[in-house]
Structures are given as structure tokens and as C-alpha cells.
Amino acid sequence: MILPSVIDAIGNTPMVELSRLCARLNLNGRIVAKLDYLLPGFSKKDRAARSIIEMARADGTLAPGQTVVELTSGNMGTGLAIVCGILGHPFIAVMSAGNSVERARMMRALGAQVIIVPQAHGSKPGEVSGADLELVDAEAKRITTERNAFRADQFGHSGNPKTHETGTGPEIWAQSEGAVTAFCDFAGSGGTLAGAAKFLNRHGVRCYAVEPEGARALAGETISTPDHPIQGGGYAMSELVHMNGTALAGHLAVSGEAARECARLLARTEGIFAGYSAGANLSAAIELLRGPEEGGCIAIVMCDSGLKYLSTDLWE
């Protein structure tokens, strides 16, 4: 089948069993991985980008040819650059200087205008804190007003969790033939976790939030270490709109080092070249199989490609 555009290639990613990895670690249970790093923009955020733009065009909040603006760690921006380019909307991505340079280069290659916002005082290069994100958000709001643009608002627009409720969650359930017993995801905007959980909870699947050690705001803990290398999430934000009312079985903590080692383990053991958050998801899944979900089947998402981290310490 020949698709009418690359937008139509967003969704229905393969899911693979990490049997070699589970055997190597002597885990009692299964881990299955949804390969969303194979989407056109190399990340799961393609799903939300398509959903938000299509919904906004349908309800009239986004006019034909109107400029779109959004803050991004690079993944949402890449998805929006693709979708907006196909549908005829200029796109402006606003990103922290703490994100990897590959992301900005990819968005520019796809036709986006990329605005880089300097990091907050004391922030580390390669790590994006909640304070950094606040600066990016302020700049995105300013540009949206100045350009009379549409703000894609991945942290607030219902199209984000909706695409995972109608896409990611059902795909996981169908591809596993109902074998999945638990799902965990590293929380950025919370869209994937909230949306997938809304569907999977109805089938008795226990869902867990994954956050960085020392920055477990969703778990209600005091923030002690807001800085970490896991780009795209873990911003120590206790208020994630998408997570309101989401039923969770628990909260898991992952260190930057554990996420790094698990991303490398995925590459060496399973041939999956994914990024930091995929490593965080794997680390959490391993913890679940060694604890409350022993003997079960854990589903995780491979959130983005390892190609987006070549300039970071992930592959040193």
C-alpha cells in the first residue's frame, strides 16, 4: 500500500519481546518494547504532533496557513515540523540550550525555525531542569502572541493523551494478544502515560509512572536533585494536567546512570538503538519484574532514537 503522505506512517509501530535481555538478567517474566523510535520523526511525539494539529484544524482553532509554535526538547518539535510542513503551517520550535544539538539540526532540516533559549543560572549543559523549561515556556508564549500563532501546547492539549488512548494503548494490547500485565513510562508531558493508561486500565493492566531519582514530583516527594541527564521529561513538575485522574499502580525512580546503562544494554543485547528515556523505561521494567510484577509481562515504549544523543555522554 502506498500512503498519501508521511503523516499516514505515524502509528502502528512494531512491538518486540526483549527475550535475550531478560535471559541475560535472569528475570522471571517478560518485557515487550513498542518501537516508536521508528516513527518518521524518530520519536513517540510524532503521534501527539499529528493528533494536536489535526484536532486544531478540525475545530477551527488552527486556521489554514497559520503559524504553529511549541516548546520542545526536540522530539515534539520534530513531529510538529513534519506535520506542519506537510499541511502548510510555518512552525517555530522553542528549545532549551540544554538539549542535544542533533535535535535542533533535525528540526531545521525539516523546515522549522528553531529558537534556542539559554539555560537558567546554574543549569548543566546536556541537562534540562524545570527552571530551564519555564524560560522556554515564557519565550514560547511571547512568540505565540507576537506572531498571532497557534500554540500546540503538548502539556495541555487533549490531543496528546487522546492519541495514546486510541493508538498506543490499543496497539500494545492487540500486539501482545492481551498478555501485558503492566505498563510503565517516563513522564514528560504525561501524555503517553495518561492516554495509554486510560485504555490499558480498562483491561486490568497496572500502570506505573517513571521519574528521575530526586525529582519525583508526581510521587509527591520533595525535590532534592532536579538535575539529571534524561532529556524530554522528569522536569520535577507536580502539576501535569494530563495526569489528573490517571489511575496508577505506583511510582518508580530511575537514576541517570541506570537509564544510561539500560539504553546501552538495549543496543548491545537487542539491537535497539534508542535514547535515554527508553533506557529509563527499561530500568523501571526490570525493577518491576524483580519486585511487584514478578512473573508478569511489562510493556514499555522506546521513546526516541539514539541518533538524537550522539553529542551527549550516552554513547561515550
Instruction: List, by residue number, the catalytic residues.
Output: 45, 277
- b/e 51-70 (16+ beta carbons within 10 angstroms → b): bbbbbbbeeeebeeebbbbb
Tell me the C-alpha to C-alpha distance, in Å, between residue 227 and each of 131, 134, 269, 303: 10, 14, 29, 20
Q: 289: which 3 cell numbers?
A: 519484574
Distance CA 282, CA 265 (A): 9
Beta strand 297-301 pairing with 15-17: unpaired
| Residue 230 contacts residue 256 (beta carbons within 8 Å) | yes
Q: 275: which 3 cell numbers?
A: 535514547
Distance CA 114, CA 92 (A): 6
Task: Name, in order, each residue with C-beta under 8 angstroms of 195's C-beta and a sequence gap of 6 or more.
Answer: 160, 161, 162, 163, 164, 165, 166, 168, 169, 242
Distance CA 183, CA 288 (A): 10
In a 13 Å sphere around the CA of 300, the CA atoms on its Cβ side amount to: 33
Distance CA 68, CA 56 (A): 11
- Residue 255, classified by CB atoms within 10 Å of its CB into exposed (0-12), middle (13-18) or buried (19+), is middle
